[in-house]
Chains A and B, each alone.
Chain A
């Protein structure tokens, strides 16, 4: 039975890896293509997770809910609400130096965390939401449900990847890169910089919301600790930087690679003596921090560096 255990371990890594791949693709649209620094990924992820969870769960006296909508509707709701929040943040900050956008996005994430913990009529506070359905939950159960969910997640990753590739190759994406690399010259040829940046930020945030929704459906339970900035914001940045910012395939490779590393090291650290287990999580954190510094200094273009889309001329 060792082999089935291993197989389902792999499935669980691939599901979480798929959710991270979504986050990375979203961040790649914001940072890789648009050069926008989003330090509050966890916030948009949390909006998505809670929106989708509240829209799809059955009634409960402890929190808002009882809509019982299908999962896909929940995910659409997640994208819309996360996108709207992103729009508000971007609208205020894109005209300023990118540092301000970083401050505002991290601020939004912190405040959302306060709201989630304090407004228990909405989110049931730190006790969390339970009984969140999975897609096709009525037809499959047990371990095969994980396989169905795996397919569901990766189908969404594929859709988002195709959208991201299309954006990357489109006139819109080319203008975006022009703005990122040289704001003045892009403005000189008449590109509305502010509008492009707001659009980029909103699209990225909407996808982050979808990723959040998927994680809520995966775990079937959602509490404030699921949107830990370390595990969401931070790890995603390391993934994208290592994978190759500006390259959509790089984003997916980075997400899977770093997530596998993160999960596999957990197996080893769990075998340590008890007094070291708590410490080992700090050591892993330290290593992730150091990995980011290494990537920033020596390995800036990542595993799969950015390639400009080919030029095509119509006859």
Chain B
């Protein structure tokens, strides 16, 4: 049981935080701009490499350098929206989906062009011993940091969406774009803020994912499927639902590889990604609007 908590539950919460932060962006973009953003994983990769580039210059903990990654991701997202997505906005959204598919490739090839395609390890000041609680629970410092950071971000996001004017207009546009426009809300401003928040959170998620293992150009693309599953699970257009969805997917992936019956893993760990996919498929069959009454577009 202790093994279970140390080696499955804590890592599950950490990977769940990564999914949660990524899924918020996907869910908000899907809710407000009405398209599935296939370049979101690669936007994460861009953010990760932004942190990595800063870490090569400043010899401090990568956690302090996350603003560099956020800035790079935000600038990339806004530029891509301006140049590639905006001209397609009047067409059926499926064209934007195709475009985002191409943007994913553009992001990845740029990362490979600038930084090469090998694995890069974050220099976080040597191996840190895990925290030991009550002499039994061992949890890596990074995992604690990921969960804490995600909780703080969730709180801030909640206040932003419910208390500020911009946040409220974002929810209005997400609920009913025509009505929001008629009411005189600045849709372009809402779109801009969607990208800023989505990209910033993607950079944080990417940094944690990269620090947990290593950074490589396919880092974000490999996380895309579970993030989509988390966004659908939480209900499209429900950022807090997406957060919950991220943790549920993370837990499901890790728990499915625990040896519940006998000595071997329930499902081979190499099929972890498949777990997220199966959850997504089941959800699309039974409850496509997600657990928290999201919209069905």
* Chain B residues, CB < 8 A from A237: 98, 101
B38 pairs with A102, CB closer than 8 A: yes
A240 to chain B, nearest CB (A): 10
From 131 to 184 in chain A, residues with beta carbon under 8 angstroms from any chain B beta carbon are: none
- Does A99 sit at the interface, judged by CB under 8 A? yes
The interface-forming segment of A209-217, A278-286, A306-314 is A278-286
Contact in complex: A279, B273 (CB < 8 Å): no
The A interface is mostly helix, strand or loop, or mixed, namely: helix
Contacting residues of chain B (263-289) with chain A, CB-CB under 8 angstroms: 268, 270-271, 273-274, 277, 280-281, 284-285, 288
Measured between beta carbons, the chain A residues less than 8 angstroms from B270 are 114, 117-118
Which chain A residue shows the least CB distance to B228? A103
- Indicate if the CB atoms of A118 and B285 lie closer than 8 Å: no
A286 touches B102 (CB 8 A): no
| A297 and B284 form a contact (CB under 8 A) | no
| A106-B225, A286-B109, A288-B105 known; A114+B288 contact, CB < 8 A | no
Judged by a CB distance under 8 angstroms, whether A187 is at the interface is no
B residues less than 8 Å from A117 (CB atoms): 270
**Which chain A residues lie closer than 8 Å to B83 at the CB level?**
293
Q: Which of B36, B95, B109, B273 has the most CB of A within 10 A?
A: B109
Whole-angstrom CA separation of A292 from B39 in the bound complex:
14
User: With the chains together, A289 CA to B101 CA distance in Å?
Assistant: 9
The total of chain A residues at the interface (CB under 8 A) is: 39
Q: Is B30 in contact with A99, judged by CB distance below 8 angstroms?
A: yes
Closest to B225 in A: A107
A289 touching B225, Cβ below 8 Å = no
A260-290: which have CB < 8 Å to B?
278-279, 282-283, 285-286, 288-290
Contact A39 B297, beta carbon cutoff 8 Å: no
A37 at the interface (CB under 8 A from B): yes
Please tell me if the beta carbons of A230 and B105 are within 8 angstroms of each other in the complex: yes
Tell me whether A96 is interfacial, beta carbon within 8 Å: yes
A110 at the B interface (CB under 8 A) = yes
CA–CA, A92 and B286, complex, Å: 10
Per the bound structure, the CA–CA distance linking A103 and B35 in Å amounts to: 11
- The reply to whether the CB of A111 lies closer than 8 angstroms to some CB of chain B is yes
Contact of B106 among A286, A296, A300 (CB under 8 A): A286
Contact A292/B99 with A98-B94, A283-B113, A286-B106 known, Cβ cut-off 8 Å: yes
Q: Which of A97, A114, A286 has the most CB of B within 10 A?
A: A97
Do A283 and B93 touch across chains, with their CB atoms under 8 A apart? no
Give the chain B neighbours of A241 by CB distance below 8 A.
98
Max chain A CB contacts within 10 Å: which of B88, B105, B110? B105
> Quick one: which of B87, B101, B281, B297 contacts A104, CB cutoff 8 A?
B281
Q: Knowing A98-B94, A99-B94 touch, does A111 contact B277 (C-beta < 8 A)?
A: yes
Question: Are A102 and B277 neighbours in the complex by a CB distance under 8 Å?
Answer: no
Given A92-B285, A111-B274: A289 in contact with B30 (beta carbons within 8 A): no
Least CB separation from B274: chain A residue = A111
Produce 1/0 per residue, B107-125, CB < 8 A to A.
Answer: 0111011000100000000
Q: How far, in angstroms, from A283 to B114 measured CA to CA in the complex?
A: 11
Q: Select one of A99, A282, A292 contacting B113, CB under 8 A.
A: A282
Give the nearest-CB partner of B270 in chain A: A118
Interface residue from B84, B88, B288 paired with A100 (Cβ < 8 Å): B288
User: Contact between A37 and B88 (Cβ–Cβ < 8 Å)?
Assistant: no
B97 at the interface (CB under 8 A from A): yes
Cβ B102 vs Cβ A289 within 8 A: yes
| Interface residues as binary, B200-220 with A (CB distance below 8 Å gives 1, 0 otherwise) | 000000000000000000000
Distance between A157 CB and nearest chain B CB, rounded to angstroms: 25
Q: Please name all residues of chain A whose beta carbon is closer than 8 Å to the beta carbon of B268 when the two chains form the complex.
A: 118
Tell whether A65 is near chain B: CB-to-CB under 8 Å: no
Q: Is B66 interfacial (CB-CB < 8 Å)?
A: no
Beta-carbon contact of B88 and A297 below 8 Å: yes
Within 8 Å by CB of B109, from A106, A285, A293, lies A285
The A-contacting residues of B in range 225-270, CB under 8 angstroms, are: 225, 228, 232, 268, 270
Query: B83's closest neighbor in chain A, by CB?
Result: A293
Return chain B residues, CB-CB under 8 Å to A288.
Answer: 105
Task: Please name all residues of chain A whose beta carbon is closer than 8 Å to the beta carbon of B56 when the two chains form the complex.
Answer: none
Minimal beta-carbon separation of A213 from chain B (angstroms): 25
Give the nearest-CB partner of A113 in chain B. B273
Check B103 for interface membership: any CB of A closer than 8 A.
yes
Interface: B179 (CB within 8 A): no
**Which 4 pairs show the lowest CB-CB distances between chains A and B?**
A99-B36, A289-B106, A292-B102, A285-B109
Q: List 9 other contacts, CB 8 Å, given A93-B284, A107-B281, A230-B105.
A: A96-B284, A103-B280, A104-B281, A285-B105, A285-B109, A293-B83, A293-B103, A296-B95, A300-B95
Q: Can you report 16 A-B residue pairs in the complex whose CB atoms are below 8 A from each other?
A: A37-B94, A96-B284, A97-B297, A98-B94, A99-B93, A99-B94, A102-B36, A104-B280, A104-B281, A114-B274, A234-B102, A241-B98, A282-B117, A289-B109, A292-B99, A297-B88
